[in-house]
Structures are given as C-alpha cells and as structure tokens.
Structure 1
Amino acid sequence: MHENPEQDITGVILVGGKSRRMGKDKAFLEVAGKPLFERVLEVFRESFAQVVLVGNREERFADYGLPVLPDIYHGSSLGGLYTGLHNAATEYVFVSSCDLPFPSAEVLRYLCSLRNGYDAVVPTTANGYEPLFALYAKSCLGPIKRLLDSGDFCAYAYYPQVRVRYVAYEELARFDRDGRAFLNINTPEEFAKIGGNL
C-alpha cells in the first residue's frame, strides 16, 4: 500500500465505453478472479486521495461509493477527460480507461512525478501515444474544449498547443517488468490470450 496518496491529483477512471468489439461490458470482465475495472480502481485508490468515475453509467457503478460524473460531451474518451478535468477540485488529473488488465502503480507514480512545468505527461510506446494512462493539468481544458466544439474527438490532437512531457517506453520499462502495463483488450480473442474468461 502506498503510504502517501497524491493530494493534488484526482484519479479519473473513464467508464463510459460501449465495448462494441468485445460484445459485453469490458469493465466487468475478470482476470485472475477480479473485474478489470476493480484492477484499475485498486491502483487508483492507493495512489490518489480522490477518485472519480466519468460516464453515463451511474447505476452500473453505484456500489463502489464513488462520484460518477455524467459526460459533458458525449461519446468519446476526450470528452470523458474534459468532464473529469472540468469537475476536478485539483490542478491535475490522472486518467485511465476502466479496462486495463495490468495497470501499474509504479508507472503511474513515475508519470505523476514528472508533472512540474508541464500541462500533460503522456507515455509513448511502439504503438504511439497512450493518452488514456496519462496526467493532465487544468490548463488543457481550453484546448480540449476548442477541439470538442469543432467536432474533433482525437484524444491527442491538441497536444501541440500545450506543454507535454512525452515519456518514452524505454524510460518506463524499469517500472513495467513484464511489459504489460499498457496492454489493451478489445476483442474476445485478445482477452482469451491473457487468460481471461468471458
């Protein structure tokens, strides 16, 4: 257990996804007997003093005793990030999707430690940016709102307008010893590969 949860960062878990490719709600698929959402929540609860959920799914997550914020802009992870940032009482939020099978508390805390002087701290891997396991400051609200208002929902199209600390995977590898921190599961086949049961 992390002894000093971050006070000036709100943990924001995006729970509004439709899981179309999976065919059932990814948040509650189980790996090693624990729903994916709870795996993310466990890391967030030990890392942040405040945790909120974002998405129009209050009834599905009511049992967790956390605020569930309805989307201000519907239908995208960028809109979810905007809702979390807009409502946060802290200067920073750390955002994650709700369906990471192996979220890493060590990677999360390292990313948070780099925030001074930046509007965003974003990991990069061989697959590109990882905008949904990243840290953002309130200063991103304006650029994100302009993007959303223009109808563009790309999660990183506004990065050139803010000060981003890009964190190459090589810098994070020592915290992610099994190389699975950014694994994302979208299909039943991918889920079966990691030993999950549908």
Structure 2
Amino acid sequence: MKLFGTCIILAGGKSSRMGFDKQFLKVDKRRLMYSIISKLENEFDEIIIVTNKPEHYIGLSHKITMDILKEKGPLGGIHAGLKQAKSKYSFVMACDMPNVNIEYIRYMKENTSKMGSTTRFKDWIEPFCSFYSKEMVKPIEKYLKTKKRSITHLLMDLDINYIEEKDAREFSPSWDMFLNLNTQNDLEIFLNAEKESCS
C-alpha cells in the first residue's frame, strides 16, 4: 500500500451561505473543482471526489463516491473517501478551497504521525488541507454513533501531528492556502484578487 498516493476532495454540503452548490463554482468560466483537480493530479496517483451529485461527474477519469453514512456532514465525506482510498494516508480538502499549496502538502507528508497531520492556529484546527489515515475509519464510525459531528473534537482524541501557525506561515504568509469560498462576498473578493494578480 502506498503511503501518500490519494487525495480526497469533499464536494458535498448544503452551501446555504453561498446560495448555490459550491461544487459548481466557476472561475474564468471553468469549474473550480476542475482547476483544483488539475493542480493535484501531478502530486497524487488517486483522486477521490465525494459528492451527493455523482451524475455531474460522468466521464471524469477519477473515482467518484457518495457518503456511506448519510447526513453526517464533512466527517461522513471523509469516512467515505477513506474507505475507498488505496493509500495509507489521504490528503483531504474541500471543493471551495482554490489555493492549492503543493509545497505545504509535501511538508505535511514529512510531518505526519500515526493518524495524520493537520494545521493548528492557537485553539483552532484546520480540518481540511490535512492528511488522514485509513485507520481513522473505525474511530469516525464510533464517534458518529454518539451523534457528534465535530472533526476538531474527534481529532483531539487521536494521534494527529499538529503543524503550528508559525511553520505553516512559512508556506503561506497571508494564510490564503486555507481560504474557503463560503459566501458570494468571498467569491467576489477572490475573483478581484485574481484579476489584480493577472494585470
């Protein structure tokens, strides 16, 4: 089994703050999902998309799967992806994170403990842009049976390596590699910044 060959992209969620399904976000008339995939294809042998609308990915060469444990939020998506993964560790990110930082991903690979690695900012943990082990499948199932869904609280009980803010900022001083496009305003700010960087 390969150690770090898999990337899981979560494309579920209600996207209520955005006003439409974020897996269909477009930047320069191209779906953001496809831009994210193209950045990750050279780093990972296997890309798994966890979506509640698999019919929109017909013809895509990557693996498409749905939640096994329904209505469990992002943890349900992580669980489904890890069940399908061929690698011991999978890189997990969300479909609304446009700034893929390959150098940081490689750094995280080198700083992974038994269950994975994630980034910590004081008491805040970034649950995406993280590596998780297939060994998390059973703990996730057990945790979800308690009716809890917080990824952060689950990770607190697992052997996860936390990369601290000062180290992460070496790769992303502005912290933009953790940007989520949650609202129309987030999207507008991001698109304007993209236009400025290209001008």
* TM-score range for the pair, normalised by the shorter chain length: 0.7 to 0.9
Q: 1:179 offset after TM fit, Å? A: 3.2
Match of 2:3 in 1: 8
Answer yes or no: is 1:44 the counterpart of 2:40.
Answer: yes
Q: 1:126 offset after TM fit, Å? A: 5.9
Preserved contact between residue 46 and residue 62 of structure 2 (Cα < 8 Å): no
Answer yes or no: is 1:81 the counterpart of 2:78.
Answer: yes
Preserved contact between residue 143 and residue 161 of structure 1 (Cα < 8 Å): no
Match of 1:156 in 2: 152
Q: 1:178 offset after TM fit, Å? A: 4.7
- What does residue range 7-156 of structure 1 map to in structure 2 within 5 Å? 7-9=2-4, 10-75=6-71, 76-115=73-112, 117-125=113-121, 128-156=124-152
Q: 1:23 offset after TM fit, Å? A: 0.9
Question: 3-state SS of the aligned residue for 1:94?
Answer: strand
Structure 1 residue corresponding to 2:185, chosen from 168, 186, 189: 189
CA deviation vs aligned residue, 1:119-176 (integer Å, no higher than 9, x gap): 1201123681111110011221221111111211111222232211111121022222
Mapped to 2, the partners of 1:34 and 1:82 lie a distance apart of 29
Match of 1:3 in 2: none
Distance 1:23 1:145, change over 3 A: same
Mapped to 2, the partners of 1:195 and 1:124 lie a distance apart of 27
Question: 3-state SS of the aligned residue for 1:175?
Answer: coil
Q: 1:182 offset after TM fit, Å? A: 0.4
Greater shift after overlay, 71-80 or 176-185? 176-185
Identity among equivalent pairs (%):
27
Instruction: Give me the CA root mean square deviation.
Output: 2.0
Q: TM-score, normalised by structure 2?
A: 0.86
Greater shift after overlay, 59-68 or 162-171? 59-68
The number of equivalent residue pairs is 190
Mapped to 2, the partners of 1:166 and 1:143 lie a distance apart of 18
Preserved contact between residue 11 and residue 22 of structure 2 (Cα < 8 Å): no
Q: 1:43 offset after TM fit, Å? A: 2.5
Preserved contact between residue 120 and residue 162 of structure 1 (Cα < 8 Å): no
Q: 1:33 offset after TM fit, Å? A: 4.8
Q: TM-score, normalised by structure 1?
A: 0.87
Structure 2: gaps of 5 or more residues:
195-199
Mapped to 2, the partners of 1:29 and 1:158 lie a distance apart of 30
Opposite residue 25 of structure 2, the aligned amino acid is: L
Mapped to 2, the partners of 1:11 and 1:50 lie a distance apart of 6
Preserved contact between residue 121 and residue 135 of structure 1 (Cα < 8 Å): yes
